[in-house]
Amino acid sequence: MVVTLFIPCFVDMMYPRVGISMVRILERLGHSVRCPESAACCGQPAFNSGYWDEARTVAEKTLQALADSEVVVIASGSCGAMIKKFYLDLFRGTPNERAAADLAGKCYEFSDFLVTRLGVTDLGAHFPAKVTFHDGCHGLRELRIKSQPRKLLEKVRGVQLVEMAEEVCCGFGGTFAAKFPMISTAMGEVKCSHALATGAEYIVSNDSSCLMHIQGLLDRQKSKLKTIHLAEVLATT
């Protein structure tokens, strides 16, 4: 099938390898991938800050760019929640209401797409390391994605998955991280301590935004613990 891959702005700029890994995996599975140039950002920063008009300006463009797709794969749980759930609120009562609902119906977060839509769990990946998995809150609680990434990780050769003691937010929260850096940092420290306690070498997640926050803290603390996106793990051979 023709898969439209939506690469959100921060993945484009800072984590291109995540996007590239997704392209490789999808192509390896025999699908053809398209990435519309004009789809750049889901509009979440403005939306979460309460500026819905400005958010709509950005979201409209993305909505149009993705509208005629057969199926859309979103490279982040958080942007996935924005497009799949919050576009319905954002466009309610506007001429784009229908289009938003149509789009919501054919959107998948990456791991959800592989497991739920394609029914694939074994990608032949090989990643010999002890890892723990961080659920991005938007993916977890807005999209209810929890088992999918674990099913995928289970099939990776060499991976040993150790769960953290608690399922808790990493403290990123978009503009929250800059508006309340002290709270965000404290939350991140708690998260890192849970991850460290597992003895894992890597924190794997399906959301680069959380990983940006966690890795940023770990780097500052000169920790040996590393973060990696699920797609990068799955793209290994």
Where do contacts with other proteins occur on this chain (CB under 8 A)?
Answer: 7, 9, 11-17, 19-20, 35, 37-38, 40-41, 43, 45-52, 54-55, 57-58, 61, 137-138, 140-142, 168-169, 171-188, 190, 212-213, 215-217, 219-220
Contacts of 36 (CB under 8 A, 6+ apart): 4, 65, 66
Toward other proteins, which CB reaches closer, 12 or 102? 12
Minimum distance from residue 43 beta carbon to other proteins (Å)? 8
Minimum distance from residue 60 beta carbon to other proteins (Å)? 9
Strand partners, 71: 3
Give kind and range of the element (H or E) at residue 51: none
At residue 62, φ and ψ (nearest 5 deg) are -65, -40
Across 110-166, the runs of DSSP E, i.e. the strands, are 126-134, 157-161
Contacts of 155 (CB under 8 A, 6+ apart): 121, 122, 123, 125
Minimum distance from residue 158 beta carbon to other proteins (Å)? 26
Toward other proteins, which CB reaches closer, 158 or 181? 181
Phi-psi region of 223 (alpha: psi -120 to 50; beta: other; left: phi over 0): beta
Toward other proteins, which CB reaches closer, 122 or 221? 221
Toward other proteins, which CB reaches closer, 37 or 68? 37
Minimum distance from residue 27 beta carbon to other proteins (Å)? 11
Minimum distance from residue 155 beta carbon to other proteins (Å)? 26
Toward other proteins, which CB reaches closer, 55 or 156? 55
Q: From CA 160, how far away is CA 31, in angstroms rounded?
A: 29
